[in-house]
Amino acid sequence: MDSAWFQHCPGILVATSQEGAISGFNPEAERVLGAERVRGGSLFESLHPDYRDTVASAWATMSEGEDWNALCQMRDAEGLYRSFSLHARRAPGRSEIYVTIVPTPRVSSGRLAVPPAEDLALLPPTAPERVLRAILDSLDLSAYVIDQEGTYLLHDGKGCRTGGNEPGTLIGQNLFELYKDVTDGVAAIRRALEGEFINSTNDALDILWESWFVPIRNKEGETTHMLGLTLAKRDMRKAMLELRAKMELIERQEEVIRNLETPVIQVWENVVTLPMMGVVDSRRVARVMDDLLSAVVRTSARFAILDLTGVDMVDTMTASHLFSLIRAIRLLGAEGIVTGIRPTVAQTMVTLGLDLSSLTTCANLREGLRLCIRRMADETRVRRAEPAQ
């Protein structure tokens, strides 16, 4: 351990017992890890608590000449946890374990302190660092941390590029100033900084964005920062647009169908007719009433012919609505005439027990129109024969 090579090696070298006690170190280890940590200390104490049990178990079971590699978080001379790659080997014939410690590059770009790919390969597939890096590099997800003033402290993930920024480029900038026009999103973030977990969705850049705003609290439970996760849902946005277009098309088609179902036609001056075909239910009769009464008022019609030639069957409720329609036409100053009643429809009307004496009917539309023309001619002759006042 006192060899010149060991003392002058530019890398970080330490020797430990199988219990983790540091028995030797070089100057670089003292400089990077801190003198108080390497002089009579334990390597295990420098490790982050999440890694201590794993490393201690590996040290205790390491055979002579066996190599062991892992990526861990360790405290540096400043007392801050950093990522280090540990390469260990137990010396043949001895209990000492020699460790080469390689620091990963210090993160200054504002990206998450996840090691580079070559070091990640040393970790098991279930290691949190490896899982996190795979998520950030594969999904359209951006992860960011801001303080109470809204300043970006971290900005990482593939989703940053989807939003128009390279990972890390927003570090030091103020979120509230950058997105002051996105009032709903800013309001949600302020609520998260007050301690509320928020899940929100917004639409921008022709992309649907779903965000989760997670309060970060200190040991006293006070919210000091906020972690934001934003996922770009490109396919969802496309699906929503396609669904909206289909719904609009369906609505236009339904409007055309409604117009074809209730085609109010002005067949003569002051005469409108409504030919009905197919099944007539209560819903359709209600729509017929709206359209026909509107046409009577709009055209100042004197007669309204309801032609049932194409209707094979109506239920008792529908027949009752038809009588109500005739009464409503009379209230508007016009006369309702029903033409083309089929035998089955006539039977249904009779079973209702309604007074049919006030209902004007004709065998077909031609007879109905002839009746209207004749009555209007009679009314004209009467008016001409009346003495002038």
- The last residue of one of the domains, among 202, 236, 270, is 236
**Could you tell me if 99 and 177 lie in one domain?**
no
The residues facing 99 across adjacent strands are 14, 88
- HSE-up of 220 (CA within 13 Å, CB side)? 3
**Residue at a domain's end among 184, 219, 236:** 236
Which strands form 223-233's sheet, in the order they lie side by side? Answer: 152-156, 141-147, 223-233, 207-217, 198-204
**Residue 242 pLDDT exceeds 80:** no
What domain range includes position 351?
262-384
Count the helices and strands in the chain (H runs, E runs): 15, 15
For residue 342, pLDDT over 90 is answered with no
| Residue 107 per-residue DSSP state | P
Which residue type occupies 102?
V
pLDDT of residue 109: 45
Contact of 321 with 289, CB cutoff 8 Å? yes
pLDDT tens, position by position, 186-213: 999 999 999 999 998 887 767 788 899 9
Tell me, yes or no, whether 267 and 376 share the same domain. yes
Residue type, 39: R
Q: How far is residue 7's CA from residue 266's CA, in Å, rounded to a whole number?
A: 108
**Confidence bin at 9 (pLDDT 50/70/90):** low
| Predicted TM-score (pTM) of this structure | 0.41
Number of domains the chain contains: 3
Say if residues 255 and 249 touch (Cβ distance below 8 Å).
no
- Token look-up 């020699």 returns 98
Region 63-77 average pLDDT: 84
CATH number of residue 43's parent domain: 3.30.450.20
Return d(Cα 243, Cα 238) in angstroms, integer. Answer: 9
User: Coil, strand or helix: which one is 102?
Assistant: strand
The pLDDT-based confidence of 228 (bands split at 50, 70, 90) is very high
Measured in degrees and rounded to the nearest 5, phi and psi for residue 112 equal -60, 145
Any domain includes 247: no
What are the structure tokens assigned to 330, written together?
Answer: 């009379």
* Mean per-residue pLDDT, 330-337: 91
Q: Are residues 269 and 339 in the same domain?
A: yes
Same domain, 229 and 269: no
Whether 119 is in a domain gets the answer no
pLDDT at 236: 55
Instruction: Assign 261 a pLDDT band (cuts: 50, 70, 90).
Output: low
- Beta pairing class for 303-310 and 12-16: unpaired
Give the pLDDT of residue 211: 92
Last residue of a domain, one of 236, 252, 287: 236
CATH number at residue 306: 3.30.750.24
Which parts of the chain are beta strand (E)? 12-16, 22-25, 67-75, 81-90, 97-103, 141-147, 152-156, 198-204, 207-217, 223-233, 265-268, 271-277, 303-310, 335-339, 360-362
Coil, helix or strand for 174?
Answer: strand
Query: Residue 99 above 50 pLDDT?
Result: yes
